[in-house]
């Protein structure tokens, strides 16, 4: 028996060299997680129910089939380190600059035509342990994990929960147990943001920090989904006699954007929607000289604006529509963080 608080999570901030090679131990963070579940491994068996010749319709034998690994959510408060990690692994094209801390990560969606690994994103290793050692209740490293989706939520509440980042992760089914990995004894200090640190908030030409629309912003949800394709194929590999996935390729990727704003006289959102107005959208968090986060949605219009009520205040729920700009692409994330080596292959 073990209390779930004993569960220790760690994952590599550096990228694996390839899908089947575990990341170096030195690049594995120990991290906390607001998701209180372990990452389940789900081997699936099949039977001979459909085969005739047995004299009856009932199964008589079991066969190993495949690892049907569920996705797993890493849920964290927004920090410069976590955003750099989640977005680098989710979008696939990262440039890091700086010879000493802080480092600047510029991140954009990789293009299938030019990405060195085709439709595959960088892979990381995920460690989960409960009482590792001779009598471990759980001690394994999942190899070949990738970020399927990232969700960033900002809301008008106090504290760290006002800025959340959730990475939904997928994995192939390959693992090593016991992991033979010793997690660091402590969790690294993360430089977290909260909604009060937003220093720029302009959506499609509407500035929500100053001017007529200042103080009118309520909440925002932004997401990126890689919509992975199934990765089973001839030669994809096995684990314990079960077939595993040998690749996690992105499918039709989607960028989601929803925000809620208060309605007032002269609200610009309806006008922008009806006039098909598009423009850049910029959201920036600035914590200090070492930690900042900025997203530039290069060309965004409004798809839907729906009147509603949020805690007794009349609001508009606006869904953004991002257009691919021929020069600047879809979206650019820029993160300043003291953390080196995020998504680097070593």
Partner 1 sequence: MEQCWMRSPTGDVKQVNATPDVLGPLMAQGWHQAQGPAVAAALVMVLMQSPSGETQEVAPGSPAISQLMAQGWHEVPPQGSK
Smallest distance, partner 1 to C-beta of residue 113, A: 6
d(CA 221, CA 256): 8
Q: Does 282 bind partner 1 (CB under 8 A)?
A: no
The footprint of partner 1 on residues 138-167 (CB under 8 A) is 143
d(CA 342, CA 85): 6
Which residue has tokens 């073990």?
Answer: 2
Q: Does 290 bind partner 1 (CB under 8 A)?
A: no
Q: Does 264 bind partner 1 (CB under 8 A)?
A: no
Smallest distance, partner 1 to C-beta of residue 126, A: 15
Q: Does 254 bind partner 1 (CB under 8 A)?
A: no
Q: Which stretch binds partner 1 (CB under 8 A): 21-29, 67-75, 210-218, 246-254?
A: 21-29
Q: Which is nearer to partner 1, 111 or 137 (CB)?
A: 111
Q: Which residues contact 304 (CB under 8 A, 6 or more apart)?
A: 273, 317, 318, 319
Q: Which is nearer to partner 1, 35 or 334 (CB)?
A: 334
* 8 Å CB contact between 281 and 154: no
Of 113, 189, 276, 289, the residue at the interface with partner 1 (CB under 8 A) is 113
Instruction: State how beta strands 198-203 and 254-262 pair.
Output: unpaired
Site string for partner 1, 186-225 (x = CB under 8 A): ----------------------------------------
Helices (H), the chain: 80-91, 268-274
Total binding residues toward partner 1, as defined by CB under 8 A: 38
Query: What is the biggest distance separating any 2 CA atoms in the chain, rounded to whole angstroms?
Result: 80
* 8 Å CB contact between 137 and 2: yes
Smallest distance, partner 1 to C-beta of residue 184, A: 13
- Beta-bridge partner residues of 296: 282, 332
Q: Which stretch binds partner 1 (CB under 8 A): 29-37, 89-97, 215-223, 284-292?
A: 89-97
List, edge to edge, every strand of the sheet that includes 238-239: 43-47, 62-67, 242-243, 238-239
d(CA 192, CA 215): 23
Smallest distance, partner 1 to C-beta of residue 148, A: 22
Smallest distance, partner 1 to C-beta of residue 296, A: 7
Of 149, 166, 278, 332, the residue at the interface with partner 1 (CB under 8 A) is 332
Q: Does 18 bind partner 1 (CB under 8 A)?
A: yes
d(CA 248, CA 119): 8
Written as one string, the DSSP assignment of 60-109 is --EEEEEE-PPPEEEEEE-BHHHHHHHHHHHHEEEEEE-SSSSEEEEEEE
Of 325, 338, 340, 341, the residue at the interface with partner 1 (CB under 8 A) is 325
Q: Does 97 bind partner 1 (CB under 8 A)?
A: yes
Ramachandran class of 86: left when φ > 0, alpha when ψ lies in -120 to 50, beta otherwise: alpha
d(CA 315, CA 313): 6
Q: Does 279 bind partner 1 (CB under 8 A)?
A: no
Smallest distance, partner 1 to C-beta of residue 24, A: 6
Of 95, 227, 264, 290, the residue at the interface with partner 1 (CB under 8 A) is 95
Interface residue list for partner 1 (CB under 8 A): 16-18, 20-22, 24-26, 93-98, 104, 106, 108, 111, 113-116, 143, 176, 180, 294, 296, 298, 325, 327-330, 332, 334, 345-346
């Amino acid at each position: 028996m073990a209390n779930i608080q004993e569960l220790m999570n760690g994952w590599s901030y550096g990228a694996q060299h390839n899908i089947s090679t575990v990341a170096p131990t030195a690049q594995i963070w120990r991290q906390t997680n607001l998701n209180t579940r372990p990452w389940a491994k789900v081997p699936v068996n099949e039977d001979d129910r459909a085969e005739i010749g047995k004299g009856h319709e009932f199964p008589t034998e079991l066969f190993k089939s495949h690892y049907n690994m569920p996705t797993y959510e890493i849920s964290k408060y927004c920090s410069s380190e976590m955003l750099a990690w989640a977005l680098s692994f989710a979008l696939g094209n990262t440039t890091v600059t700086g010879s000493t801390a802080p480092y600047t990560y510029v991140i954009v969606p990789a293009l299938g035509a030019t990405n060195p690994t085709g439709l595959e994103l960088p892979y990381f290793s995920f460690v989960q342990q409960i009482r590792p050692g001779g009598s471990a209740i759980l001690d394994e490293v999942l190899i070949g994990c990738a970020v399927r989706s990232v969700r960033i939520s900002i809301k008008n509440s106090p504290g760290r929960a006002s800025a959340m980042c959730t990475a939904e992760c997928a994995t192939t089914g390959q693992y090593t147990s016991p992991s033979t990995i010793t997690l660091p004894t402590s969790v690294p200090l993360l430089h977290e943001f909260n909604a009060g640190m937003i220093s720029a908030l302009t959506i499609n030409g509407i500035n929500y920090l100053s001017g007529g629309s200042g103080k009118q912003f309520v909440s925002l949800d932004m997401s990126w989904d890689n919509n992975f394709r199934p990765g089973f194929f001839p030669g994809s590999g096995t684990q314990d006699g079960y077939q595993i996935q040998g690749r996690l390729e992105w499918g039709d990727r989607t960028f989601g954007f929803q925000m809620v704003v208060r309605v007032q006289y002269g609200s610009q959102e309806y006008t922008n929607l009806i006039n098909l107005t598009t423009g850049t959208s910029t959201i920036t968090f600035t914590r200090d000289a070492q930690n900042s986060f900025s997203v530039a949605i290069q060309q965004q219009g409004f798809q839907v604006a729906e009147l509603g009520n949020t805690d007794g205040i009349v609001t508009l729920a606006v869904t953004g529509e991002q257009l691919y700009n021929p020069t600047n692409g879809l979206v650019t994330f820029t993160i300043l963080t003291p953390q080196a080596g995020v998504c680097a292959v070593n």
